[in-house]
Amino acid sequence: MKKIGVFICHCGVNIKDTVDVEYLTEKLADYKGVEHIENYMFMCSDPGQNLVKEAIQENKLDGVVIAACSPTLHESTFQNAIEEIGINKYQLEIANIREQCSWVHTSREEATRKAELIIKTAIEKLRLNQSLEPVTAPLTKRVLVIGGGIAGIQAALDIADGGYEVVLVEKKPSIGGHMIQLSETFPTLDCSQCILTPKMVQVGKHKNIKLYVNSQVAAVDGFAGNFTVTINRKAQYVDPDKCTLCGDCTDSCPVVTPCEYDEGLAWRRAIYVPFPQAIPATFTIDTENCLGFEPIACGECKKACEPGAINYDAKPQTFEEKIGAIIVATGYDLYPVENMAEYGYGKYPDVLNGLQFERILSATGPTGGEMLRPSDGKVPKEIVFVQCSGSRDPERHLSHCSRICCMYTLKHAKLYKHKVPDGQPYIFYIDIRSGGKRYDEFIQQAVSEDGVVYIRGKVAKIYQEGDKMIVHGMDTLTGKKMEICADMVVLAQGIVPSEGVHELVKTLKLGVDDVGFLIEAHPKLRPLESLQSGFYIAGAAQGPKDIPDTVSQASGAAAKILALFSHDEIYHEPIIAIVDEDKCSGCGICIGTCPYGARVLENGVAMVNDILCEGCGACISACPSGAAQQKNLTDQQINSMIKVILG
């Protein structure tokens, strides 16, 4: 029979005033299994803890019940205390007689009676508690980062600098994400490429970073700390080690196709480098538009290539990497303008989205940084910016706020005005969300100094008349309808998760919300991890956010992984499910109840994957034979607690 010690805390007067601790000490001394019982003013204090330790040693106690405040406060305090003297920390139970007793009841008699029952249930549970050790598994100290935008780049650098190997997988031919397309970033108006490219170069050179471009994650097997990741890489027709970026190949290519980097506003060849600062610094062949090499329809690029970097016989390759933790940093895309029926379904060349406008602003863009409109190259004198295009519109489009549009729209208007001093920018808005550091000052300055006109109202319709775009909107502050004959319109399209994320999360078995953003373990306190053990999330893949927040999140995720890697093993709470194989009939009902895939059938018997099991207990209550139990919360324990409550 387990020798149990019971310690009742007065908590100053918090418990003592309502619950008769002396009476309880006397009454429970005779309770079955109670070897030692005492009460004290502040059990959580040093002297209080010492009382517990001494009593354990003197009476050779096997376990203790502390009747005090809620376990959320001091369960770990007492667990650490008893561990110090060699008692397993799971031989401890907290009886919550403060938050759920002395603080909520008025009658001393009733509160004391209830406290007695609470303590008895704790004793009953403790009686059958087993000593448990945390579940451990070996830990592969290598990280997979999915996505090579600023979030993936930052996380990769932080982990690599921390001394661990990073595998960075990017589906495009170069890392850089959307940030490399930007002209300047708010509110400092830093040149985006200038601040990003050094990081990109670092990633390319870092001895701890293994970079796969033109690659996608095909499968993830295993579990947290022990993943095996399969990566598919497209055929590498141009050898990055041999390519000198001379450009002779692209000059000889006959195919012309819209350029993704310039958001369709410019052209490139089928053999191309996405942008001058691409990492890896190599040309690449776009097989969808290339005339083909089975058979070789053209072959000009290979002829032109002096270093002999081009090989038409290259094949797609599959790689396997052993990984301990995965960061998903797949970023965002813009809600397509083609969905905006009221704004022309994307058919008007002078109605652009924000990224297209960035390319026009950019010195490396299709207009060399000059403010010219796509249709006829004229300088737009009247330009309309439409905020919340597709966002905050649950009836037709996206219901969420895309967070960054208010700031970048103003940035656009400001930069436009710098380039066209006699131009007039109008911004249609619903609200202005400028909550970041120095964001609001940025807005106020543009309004007062740059003559940006803000109109509060939605734009109902945009259509073309002659060479003007007619914008029908509403000024809700004056109540008047507005009609602006603009030369160009820029739509702040909503932020949506990156294309392909739905397929990816099926492979990774991660949760996404109704829009497709990754779900975090807890929106307030655990925003960097997924509920799935071993997965971390960073950047716009989790929700629309600006660059400072993305970088913070990426570094935060990296820090969490570095903390994980400071151990040699991966630990897991042991309050998990177990199966008595003798009682298990292999019915398989438990398999489907597990949200974590921790239950499998092996040789006709249900098994539990210790690392994956989170201890919810759903499978246990589903088990018809009682073969499944939860460690330290067995059916027997629950029933004995019920029995003692009902006396």
Q: Of the candidates 489, 610, 607, 520, which has an alpha carbon nearest to the alpha carbon of residue 223?
A: 610
Minimum CB distance to other proteins smaller for 58 or for 110:
110
Strand partners, 348: none
350 lies in the site for other proteins, by CB under 8 A: no
Closest CA to 200 of 175, 167, 166, 172: 175
Closest among 85, 80, 90, 87 to 573, alpha carbons compared: 90
Nearer to other proteins among residue 70 and residue 131 (C-beta): 70
Q: Does 440 bind other proteins (CB under 8 A)?
A: no
Shortest approach of other proteins to residue 76 CB, angstroms?
14
71 phi/psi in degrees, rounded to 5: -60, -25
- Which x/- pattern, by CB under 8 A, does the window 17-56 give for other proteins? ----------------------------------------
Interior/surface letters 302-340, b for 16+ CB within 10 angstroms, e for the rest: bebbeeebbbbeeeeeeeebebbbbbbbbbbbbbebebb
To other proteins, the closest distance from the beta carbon of 593 in angstroms equals 7
Task: Indicate whether 189 belongs to the interface with other proteins (CB under 8 A).
Answer: no
Q: Is 621 in the site for other proteins (CB under 8 A)?
A: yes
DSSP 293: B
Residue 70 touches other proteins, criterion: CB under 8 A: yes
Q: Which of residues 91-130 bind other proteins (CB under 8 A)?
A: 96, 98-101, 103-107, 110-111, 113-114, 117-118, 121
Among 161, 190, 260, 342, binds other proteins (CB under 8 A): 342
Binding status of residue 398 toward other proteins by CB under 8 A: no
Report yes or no: 575 and 135 within 8 Å, Cβ to Cβ: no
Using CB under 8 A as the binding rule, whether residue 465 contacts other proteins is answered as: yes
**Cβ nearer to other proteins, comparing 228 with 621:** 621
Pairing relationship of beta strands 488-493 and 351-353 according to DSSP bridges: parallel
Which own/partner contact pairs does 333-336 have at CB distance under 8 Å and 24+ positions apart? 333/495, 333/496, 333/497, 333/498, 333/499, 334/493, 334/494, 334/495, 334/496, 335/389, 335/390, 335/391, 335/397, 335/398, 335/493, 335/494, 335/495, 335/496, 336/493
Q: Token pair of 390, please?
A: 């597709």
Q: Is 639 in the site for other proteins (CB under 8 A)?
A: yes
Q: Which of 295, 308, 466, 479 binds other proteins (CB under 8 A)?
A: 466
- Which member of 33, 162, 346, 511 binds other proteins (CB under 8 A)? 511
Q: Which stretch binds other proteins (CB under 8 A): 59-67, 261-269, 380-388, 460-468?
A: 460-468
Q: Which of 173, 211, 146 shows the shortest CA–CA distance to 501?
A: 146
CB of 117 to other proteins, least distance (A): 5
Identify any residues that bridge with 184 across adjacent strands, giving them in sequence order.
191
> What is the rounded CA–CA span in Å between residue 620 and residue 577?
7
CB of 103 to other proteins, least distance (A): 4
Q: How many residues bind other proteins (CB under 8 A)?
A: 52
CB of 453 within 8 A of CB of 425? yes
CB of 621 to other proteins, least distance (A): 4
Q: How far is the CB of 347 from other proteins (least distance, A)?
A: 10
Sheet of 382-389, strands arranged across = 351-353, 488-493, 382-389, 424-429, 453-456
Q: Could you tell me which stretch among 81-89, 187-195, 379-387, 619-627 binds other proteins (CB under 8 A)?
A: 619-627
Distance CA 284, CA 287 (A): 9
Quick check: 537 and 329 in contact, CB under 8 A?
yes
Instruction: Give min distance, CB of 570 to other proteins, in A.
Output: 20
What's the closest the beta carbon of residue 623 comes to other proteins, in angstroms?
A: 9
Report the length, in residues, of the chain.
Answer: 647
Please report whether residue 638 would count as binding other proteins according to CB under 8 A.
Answer: yes
The answer to whether residue 575 forms part of the interface with other proteins (CB under 8 A) is: yes
Shortest reach from residue 50's CB to other proteins, in Å:
27
**Do residues 64 and 92 touch, judged by C-beta distance below 8 A?**
yes
Please choose, out of 173-181, 210-218, 355-363, 465-473, the segment that lies near other proteins by the rule CB under 8 A: 465-473
Query: Least CB distance from residue 580 to other proteins, whole Å?
Result: 15
Q: Which is nearer to other proteins, 112 or 216 (CB)?
A: 112
Nearer to other proteins, 89 or 113 (CB): 113
Instruction: For residue 481, state whether it binds other proteins (rule: CB under 8 A).
Output: no
What tokens does 581 get?
Answer: 């194989």
> Could you say whether residue 205 binds other proteins (CB under 8 A)?
no
Least separation, in Å, of the C-beta of 633 and other proteins? Answer: 7
Classify strands 34-40 and 142-146 as parallel, antiparallel or unpaired.
unpaired
Q: How many CA atoms lie within 13 A of 181 on its CB side?
A: 22
Q: Is 315 in the site for other proteins (CB under 8 A)?
A: no
CB of 632 to other proteins, least distance (A): 11
SS (H, E, C) 584-627: CCCCCHHHHHCCCCCEEEECCEEEECCCCCCCCCHHHHHCCCCC
Least Å distance between CB 616 and other proteins? 4
CB closer to other proteins, 344 vs 425: 344
Residue 531 as a binder of other proteins (CB under 8 A): the answer is yes
DSSP 168-185: EE-SSSSS-TTGGG-SEE
Distance CA 234, CA 513 (A): 30
Residues that bind other proteins (CB under 8 A): 70, 72, 96, 98-101, 103-107, 110-111, 113-114, 117-118, 121, 341-342, 345, 461, 463-466, 470, 511, 531, 575, 593, 595, 614-618, 620-622, 630, 633, 635, 638-639, 641-643, 645-647
